Structure 1
């Protein structure tokens, strides 16, 4: 069977008021003790599989969870165990799962890559969870026996290391699982609770929490874009295609946003979250006519989130990576601590913001909605992509031409920020027309890259795929090169501005002024190759 649920972290400030709604007369409280199993080298976890034996009230249940859509749906198989047999194993400290249960079941394909006998011999208890669960059934007002219903479950407890019970990690989360009825009711209900109690979506399962505990990690590694999980082909319909593109972006966004709201300040989490959001923005902008269900209100919220994350990351990266690198070359110390502390909005504030969390919920709902119900469900996405790619390519060409005109003006002396004669002691810190043109070109290159990557799987001819691969290779090199240039320009301006209060920063300003000259030559070379390349569509 497939379970569809949404999990949220509960902010401490809203817990009391939330519990007043969770603990009503009809709610039930159950103590859950679960034992989780895996091989010593975490083979099941690496395959995205969770295996447990849990006591639910007076009943012992063996559960395996796996697969699903990577967002809200997972495959789940539950088997009630014989209490006497379980107790006998507990008495001998030999409680182990029975893998023979899964033969000829819907979950069998998930374990197809494992030899069950050998797997069973390697399994050990890795960690346990001790949770008090408060459940309440939420139903839509209806006399229909098949009315919409959701189980709300608030879990409070801890995950405990299986071999060292002094190592523990708290659990405080709420889940909404669809019991019967329509998905719309699940998302409508979740949004209501999210608004009221400022809940934050989390994709971190209890199995993942346990895995982090036994490996001594606070958060899972950052998740990068994985285009191999882009579930489209040459026959994909227009509404199915745009859902697949959004889904692929969410696979990158959600785990990284989950880490940030859980307290991660890791640069890679923030970077990959920002990239995921920008990929999503590019898809929503380019494919806006592919679905009637795309909400134009998503774009400004996503843009604001990406902008705030970028502002923080630029300064944090400068302090934690760039400054130490410069000091390796005997640069005088520049302390950016006060600048970071002066930022009023931190990444956790940005990601936990209610409008962003509600937008994520709406995007998940969109991805899970039925594309066959849309007006263009009988039309292939392939038929519209050439026009969209050409339109995006035209934007790139215009942006490149605009930059060339600014360079020409600079060469004629009208722009004091000509990079060939930049002086780190008298740089104008205001963004020039040339700077703006460079950033605009970078945005167009980035959007063009993402849109092309979404489109390539629709190609059905080998020669077309080869051309697309060559084109993308050149495009990505140009995009990365220009991105590096723009970042270094921002760092140069940061150090120049900092030098007004700390002369030590002049070293960094001069360093990046020199670096920019090399960046510019490299970027111009890669851009020329993109301009000379024939398009593949």
Structure 2
């Protein structure tokens, strides 16, 4: 069977209020203790299968879970058990027999959860939702993570009910979307526990290695591949692409919101902000790629991506200056310049956890689950009878004649065969390439705004290629993507150095050392502009392979 649910993290400041709200209804409480199993090589996790035994009050239930058709759907197979005994024979003859039979390692206990669950059902005009508020702990070895999450599971009705109810609770209590399941969190925690346990305490670098492993545990979520095929309609393909982009946004936002670490460990870093904005930029590029073939997203989703993209980008220039440009200048010999610390102009944790951004995420996720085709063109309204009736004709003697008849001919209607997806995307990417190549031929003579516009066009082309990659010839895609990356790398550095040049130019009055930076940046920009022009020339000479 499958279930549809959405999970939101409940911050510490909201836990009491959430509990009180749930208890206002006919709520029940149950303790759940779950044991999760896998092999030392994480074979089940790699197959995206979660296998557990859970004690629910006095009863034991064996559960196997797998991802479903979309972000809120899970395949769940339950079997009652007489006790904590894992029985794989119950899956014989089912859809999961093959992946379970392929396991080579020995199954063992990897991690466990111990939670108190509050249950209550609520209704909306779209259906009935079960609220399940879990508080407790996730444990792997000597490591623990807190659990504080509110699940919204559809019991009857339409998926819109999930979002209608979740949106109310999210806005009321400041809840945060967390795309990770308990099994995903547990698998990652178990891997970290094994890595830390393997460290040699006598190794002088053990502490450094421990810190590196913990930092890697909270690593930013980059872009992932999307698989499309010609059986998909443009609307279905757009939904699949949007799901990947929003997953990148939501996962980085959860770390920035300090879902697991608020007040304990500052996990969110500038790279999380960058990757979150990359996810938003990819989503905007996807809208452009499928423009005209799908209905546009709601106005709130369109406007929200612009607003929140700008909000998260307020400190980008300062991050680039501090983490990228200045270290290179110091290595090149620039004297150290001591600046007063600029005021903090962005609180990424507050924005990521904020009601406005989290509300936008829910709106965007709901839209992505049911992307619609474009509305058919409205047929012209038939003219009124008074407008179509011909004027009566008369004989010379004044008597009326029969009106002239103007026949209407309706042609044989043949429904146009839709173009396959690879053809649609290929043609559009070809046009995007032509625009980038044409403008790039004159790159060296373009002004700064035109270069910035060209850089955005290049990013859009690169993201569009990544979305359509599974439909394109891989052998020829590799070479083209390399040429496009060369262009983008140089444009990105040019953009960063142009920003830094303006910054240091404003400092020369009080910090003469800044003249070193200006000289070095100017020389580097001259070199980069020449290299970018050569890269654009090579890109323009590329034969289009997507047609």
TM-score normalised by structure 2 residue count: 0.77
Contact map agreement 1:35 1:54 (CA 8 A) in 2: yes
Q: Which residue of 1 aligns with 2:482?
A: 473
CA 1:111–1:477: 2 relative to 1, 3 Å: farther
Contact map agreement 1:402 1:437 (CA 8 A) in 2: no
Contact map agreement 2:18 2:173 (CA 8 A) in 1: yes
Higher normalized helix content (fraction of residues): 1
For 1:46 and 1:317, locate their aligned partners in 2 and report how far apart those are by CA, in whole Å.
36
Q: Which residue of 1 aligns with 2:274?
A: 271
For 1:499 and 1:43, locate their aligned partners in 2 and report how far apart those are by CA, in whole Å.
59
Q: CA deviation at 1:114?
A: 1.5
For 2:187 and 2:50, locate their aligned partners in 1 and report how far apart those are by CA, in whole Å.
10
Contact map agreement 2:11 2:175 (CA 8 A) in 1: yes
> Match for 2:178 among 163, 178, 202?
202
Contact map agreement 2:480 2:539 (CA 8 A) in 1: yes
My pick for the range that moved more, 310-319 or 283-292, is: 310-319
Deviations 1:51-107 (A, max 9, x none): 322211111122232333573222222222103xx3xxxxxxxxx633333322333
For 2:220 and 2:533, locate their aligned partners in 1 and report how far apart those are by CA, in whole Å.
32
1:102 paired with 2:95, answer no
1:80 paired with 2:67, answer no
CA 1:494–1:355: 2 relative to 1, 3 Å: same
Q: Which residue of 2 aligns with 1:156?
A: 135
Deviations 1:365-409 (A, max 9, x none): 233227689769984445644553355345435654775554xxx
Q: Which residue of 1 aligns with 2:360?
A: 359
1:318 paired with 2:348, answer no
For 2:16 and 2:507, locate their aligned partners in 1 and report how far apart those are by CA, in whole Å.
45
CA 1:329–1:40: 2 relative to 1, 3 Å: farther
For 2:542 and 2:7, locate their aligned partners in 1 and report how far apart those are by CA, in whole Å.
47
Q: Which residue of 2 aligns with 1:119?
A: 106
1:52 paired with 2:48, answer no
Contact map agreement 2:295 2:372 (CA 8 A) in 1: no
My pick for the range that moved more, 187-196 or 509-518, is: 509-518
CA RMSD of aligned residues (A): 3.2
CA 1:44–1:334: 2 relative to 1, 3 Å: farther
For 1:244 and 1:315, locate their aligned partners in 2 and report how far apart those are by CA, in whole Å.
34
Q: Which residue of 2 aligns with 1:409?
A: none
CA 1:3–1:268: 2 relative to 1, 3 Å: farther
Q: Which residue of 2 aligns with 1:436?
A: 449
Which runs of 5 or more residues in structure 2 are unaligned? 194-213, 262-266, 378-415
Q: Which residue of 2 aligns with 1:424?
A: none
CA 1:27–1:286: 2 relative to 1, 3 Å: same
Which runs of 5 or more residues in structure 1 are unaligned? 87-95, 142-146, 407-433
For 2:487 and 2:165, locate their aligned partners in 1 and report how far apart those are by CA, in whole Å.
45
Deviations 1:190-242 (A, max 9, x none): 22222222222111222333344441636443332222x32x21342222222
Helix, strand or coil: the match of 2:146? strand
Q: Which residue of 2 aligns with 1:169?
A: 145
Q: Which residue of 2 aligns with 1:517?
A: 526
1:241 paired with 2:244, answer no
Q: How does 1:330-369 map to 2 (within 5 A)?
A: 331-334=334-337, 338-339=341-342, 342-369=343-370
Contact map agreement 2:137 2:147 (CA 8 A) in 1: yes
Largest Rg, 1 or 2: 2
CA 1:238–1:75: 2 relative to 1, 3 Å: same
Count of residue pairs the alignment pairs up: 478
Helix, strand or coil: the match of 1:80? strand
Q: CA deviation at 1:281?
A: 0.5
